[in-house]
Every structure is written in structure tokens, then in C-alpha cells.
Chains A and B, each alone.
Chain A
Amino acid sequence: MFATLFFFLPFLVVYTILVVYAERKISAFMQDRLGPMEVGYYGILQTIADLLKLLQKEDIIPTSASKKLFQLAPVLIFVPIFIGFSMLPLSPSWSAPSLSSALYFIFAIMAFDVIGIVIAGWASNNKYSMLGTVRSAAQIISYEIPLTLSVLCACVLTQTLELQEISFQQGTMVNMIQGQSNYLLGIKQLNIDVTLNGGFLTWNVFRMPVLIFAWIIFFIASLAESNRAPFDLPEAESELVAGFQTEYGGFRWAIIMLAEYAMMLLVSFIGVILFWGSWNTPFPNIGSIRLADWTTGSLDTWSVHAWGIFWLVSKTLFMVCLQIWVRWTYPRIRLDQLTSLSWKYLTPASLILIIICALWKLLL
């Protein structure tokens, strides 16, 4: 509760303002343009200006829309995603409420997100909204399957659904807290104990290298889950005006956009926690050069918070940048390509990966 209100809420607002700016700048650079340049130095205040404009706008509700649901829908889209943040650990000594099925809870909440979108589309009473909603629901439901299966691959290795425990397993503190050891690439036969070396050597993708494929599936499915290009069919502006949010304007539209960016952030957080070492430092201890210890801080001091949050947030923001990069690189895919990618390629691939992960865990 404390972390959610006093860390994630302000962080989310600042992050959204910066990421919208970053997205414009990155897209501009990729298309050989300059992007926003007028407001503030190098256009840095552009998003704040846009936000002020959005706040001033009139709150328009279409006459034929069903009023209560139309007003409620943006909140229903944002709130489930925001609840998801309450389960994330921030640093070794700043953990979320201890819930043995935290990961399961986050996915339940993410599945609930689609109801808000359906209500928004239905209440708008508009054909474009309706088509966008139908696409969005079909997309989110079908991509939840490869997403969950790829997360299961990581769970096979961690054997827990509690995010703080998963984080501890991927660093030097695992021995101290849980009395476990990590071996190089997760192969005990090599007999190289890297528990005290830490760094990237004990991240989940290095403890079980098969997980890198699971992460690729997770990343693709999470793009679809947050309605980002190349999976932005629900709001395909060239065919559907703006999809399910066509009728929304002003502050309500801003909340829907905030939800989209928050979803990007949430799936990036989960990806980092499950696959890329959570709040652990990427630098290993090498002999007397204690890079991992220097960049972790000692428990029960402020340094451990600072380093933990620094690593977790910077890795997550890197993932968000990857999502932006993908958005401005690939063209939007067709609806039939979308479903065949999910059902014919990603789902079977993730099922095979689960079997490989289970065998890796059992045999090595």
C-alpha cells in the first residue's frame, strides 16, 4: 500500500510524461525528423503543455452513449493495471505485501483489464468503437495464453510465485536469505558455484538459458497485451479512427492513454523481475573486485534501497525503450496474422519450452 501510493503513483505520472516525450523523440529520430522542438529547451516541456491542454478540454459525452458506463470505463481500464503495481517488490528490504500467489494475482488483474475496454467500446455506441473493442478483446484473450505459458517457464525454475522470493534467488543474497546456491548456467555437473559472484551470472536467463526464448515470447505477447504496435489493431487509426477510444476526449482520453503506458511499464517490470534479475546488479564479483557488493549496498541501510530501485527501474525503462523501438520499426499486422501468430506459433512454442525447462530443472 505504502509503496504503491507513495512510489508508484508519482513515478507513473513522471514516467508517462517522460515516455510520451521519449516516444516522440525516438520516433522522430528513426524517421529522420527532429520531433518536438518548440516548448522548452529541446522540446522537453511538450508533454506538459499537452497535458495542460487535455485538462482544459470540455468533457464531452455523446448523446447516444450510455452515460454512466461511458464515464466509468476509463477508470475501469486504469484501476486494474494500477492494482497490479501493488504486488511489485522494489528493493531487497522494500517488498510488496507477502502474497504466495502474487504473480497469479497480477495476471488475474491484467485479464480483468479487458472488461474496461469492452465497457468503453459498448458505452460509446459507435461502430468504430465497437469494431475496435471486438478486435481488442479477441487479441487480449488469445495473447494471454502464450504470455502465461512463458511466465510458467520462469516459474518452473523459481518454484514460487512470490515476486520478492524470485528476486532474491537471482542475486548474491540468495545464500543469506534462503540457503540456496546458484551454479553457472544452472548446470550442477559443471560444479562452478556462482552464488557469491552474483551479477548477471545469477539472473534467471543465465540460470536457465532456455528462458531467453521464453522471454522473447513474453515480450511479443506483452506487446499485444498492452495494445502496442505492431499489435495496435484495436486502435488502428488508418481504419478505425481510434478504435475503442474514438468517442473519448480530454481528461478521460488522457486516463486511457495513461493506462496504456502504465500497462507497458507493468509488463516490463514483470519481465525484468522474472527474467532479467529484478533489482539485482548486473556486475558480478570478480575475485577481490567486489563489483556486485559495491553496487548492491548493504542490507538495512538506505544504500540498498537506492541501488535496488535504481537497477530495477533502469532495466524496466530499457524494456520500455525496446517496446518503443519495436513500435516504430514494424508495420501493423493483419487480424488473421495476429491470431495465427498467437495460436500456431507462440502457443505451441511456449508449450515446448515448458517441457524443455522442466527437463532442464529435473536433469541438470
Chain B
Amino acid sequence: MSYGNLFLYLFMLSAFVSVAAMLFTRTIFFAALSLIVCLLSISGIFALLNAEFLAITQIVIYAGGVLVLILFGIMLTNKISGKPLLMEAHHSIPGMIISIVLFLLLVDAYQKTSFTATESIQLQSNHINHIGTNLMSTYVAPFEVAGLLLLVSLIGAALMASLTKKNNNA
């Protein structure tokens, strides 16, 4: 077993352990922290599989962006209201049904995917250029649609924030 494989299994293990910790801890802050560990492990797996751009994007968007916002939200509600935020189990039967359906879907998708090695882009120093060129040529429609969606949500968020302010003043 090579060192690369060893690290791959270590990252998988830590992703699994951190997800389990996230599900079973009661304090929501610890749950968010274990989610960060999980996302970092996944980005480590990406990096070992030669998808360095994907690995870094994972850190930028999820670990550095989304999770910081989540932590920020938890802190604002938790410490300032004075009550600790704990996780409780509600709706156990619908939740169980949804998770079983989701699991079956994932198993189905897993079986339908062929995991034979795809023709990978050779390890060249400028593979970030390939990603850029492809985003702006082959995949330009989804790229622009995603950009539009983000812009709409940005404007919506700004509008909602300004609306509450006016209501408070009135």
C-alpha cells in the first residue's frame, strides 16, 4: 500500500468519523465544527485524486465561506440570547422515511455509475486553464445561469434585509 493510498483511507476515515460526530453531538456549535472537519477531509480526498482545483474550491466555498456563515449565525443566536442551542430529535418517522428513500436513491445511483477509470486530463501544469476555457465555452450556459441565480439571491437578500429595517423604524 502506497503512502497516497494510506492517506486516502485516513481522509475517508476522518470524513466518516466527523460526520458521525456531527450527527450524534448535542451542541450545535460542535456539529458545525465536525462538518468543517468532514469537508476538509473530502477536500483532502479530492487533492489526492489529482483534482487540486476542486479541493481548493471545496475549502474556499464550504470550509471558508458557508461554514463561517453558519458559525457566525450560531454565535449570534447562541451567546447573545443567553440560551445554549441544543439539537433535539423531532419528526422521527418522516425523517426515517426520507433518509431511507435517500439511501436507496444513492445506492441506485452508485450501481448505475461505472467506475472504470475515465480518460483523465493529463497532469499538466496548466490544467486550471482547461477548466477556465471549458467554463467559458462548452459549459457557458450552466455557468451563466448559476451566475444569474446567485445575483438574484444577492439582490433578494439585500432587499429582505432593508425591508426589516424599515419595519422596525415604523
Contact = CB atoms under 8 A, between A and B. Distances in A.
A112 interface: yes
Most chain A CB atoms below 10 A, which of B29, B56, B59, B64: B64
Contacts of A196: none
Given A104-B60, A111-B64, 6 more contacts: A100-B52, A100-B129, A104-B53, A104-B128, A112-B63, A127-B79
Which secondary structure dominates chain A's binding surface? helix
20 contacts: A100-B128, A101-B128, A104-B53, A104-B60, A105-B52, A105-B56, A108-B60, A109-B59, A111-B63, A112-B59, A114-B64, A115-B36, A118-B71, A121-B75, A122-B75, A130-B75, A137-B71, A137-B72, A141-B65, A141-B69
Interface residues of B, number: 26
Given A112-B64, A115-B63, A115-B68, A133 B75 contact: yes
B127 interface: yes
Contact of A118 (B59, B65, B72): B72
Smallest CB-CB A-B distances: 8 pairs: A111-B64, A108-B59, A108-B60, A100-B128, A108-B56, A130-B79, A118-B71, A101-B128
A112 B71 CA distance: 13
B36 to A, nearest CB: 6
Interface string A132-148: 01100110010000000
A233 interface: no
Given A98-B125, A107-B60, A118 B75 contact: yes
A104 B56 contact: yes
B53 A101 contact: yes
Contacts of A108: 56-57, 59-60, 64
Contact of B125 (A100, A118, A122, A137): A100
Interface residues of A, number: 28
B124 to A, nearest CB: 8
B76 interface: yes
B126 A114 contact: no
Interface of B: 29, 33, 36, 52-53, 56-57, 59-60, 63-65, 67-69, 71-72, 75-76, 79-80, 125-129
Which secondary structure dominates chain B's binding surface? helix
Contacts of B67: 115
Nearest to B131: A101
A343 to B, nearest CB: 10
Contacts of A121: 75
Contacts of B79: 122, 127, 130
A162 B52 CA distance: 13
Interface of A: 69, 98-101, 104-105, 107-109, 111-112, 114-115, 118-119, 121-122, 127, 130, 133-134, 137-138, 141, 160-162
A134 B60 contact: no
A279 B125 CA distance: 22
B165 to A, nearest CB: 13
A141 B70 CA distance: 13
A127 B64 CA distance: 24
A160 B132 CA distance: 11
B128 A137 contact: no
Contacts of B59: 108-109, 111-112
Contacts of A133: 75
A111 B64 CA distance: 5
A121 B68 CA distance: 13
Most chain B CB atoms below 10 A, which of A104, A109, A119, A133: A104
A277 B53 CA distance: 26
A161 B75 contact: no
A92 B29 CA distance: 46
A18 B29 CA distance: 38
A101 B75 contact: no
Contacts of A122: 29, 71, 75, 79
B80 A162 contact: no
Contact of B65 (A98, A101, A111, A138): A111
A134 B36 contact: no
Contacts of A141: 65, 68-69
A137 B67 CA distance: 12
A101 B125 contact: no
